[in-house]
Structure 1
């Protein structure tokens, strides 16, 4: 597995593994339920992603949307392919909320709503809170 996967905590943060993609819980939660959708292959541009991987991406994004709808109910989901620091193809999956959501009894907001997500800002969460988010998402995965 390539360096970008390890940067986002692979294998400990794996929510679901597919043939071409892996979905990881993003350790730095910008909003509740942030994930990373990463291509497993060591590919550095979207133009190099093969047709089989793109076809599978339709299933993966549908599964992401289903799990997020069942857990935290975002109004929108942003998929950001920045690849500025972490070079392999990956998307930051940022659920967007027009109001606060419950993080195991603690309300959390999306202060960037309805504008761009505040990617430099992360919720102050400990390992227990991250485990709770991951368990909720895994449990809701189709």
Structure 2
């Protein structure tokens, strides 16, 4: 099991940071993510129950927003992926911090044998935190002026 945890303080209001990070288009700030968007069959364009899909180098994913409390937090669950990915969920929490917003991002997952097992976990446990940090850095670059 991999427990991913990244955090960053972004010098922008929580409402703006939340909106930027909740929009799947902005996931492309990660070096490995090629495309991400709201799914055509998403029941809502954003918010609780919305579906995001994306393609990263070596990975296709579909995730559902399972909790949505703007501008405080949202939780997502990867419900399908290729290769297989058993996701226990990920949560982004947004806390006012002086003139900025502290973002705390946690996610827990495993790769079953059919998804590459332990070797895949060894690889993604290094790559995914790097990608998540790049997304937070992209948010800071976009919002901090």
Class of the TM-score when normalised by the shorter of the 2 chains: 0.3 to 0.5
User: Quick check: which one's strand share is greater?
Assistant: 2
| TM-score normalised per structure 1 | 0.36
| TM-score normalised per structure 2 | 0.35
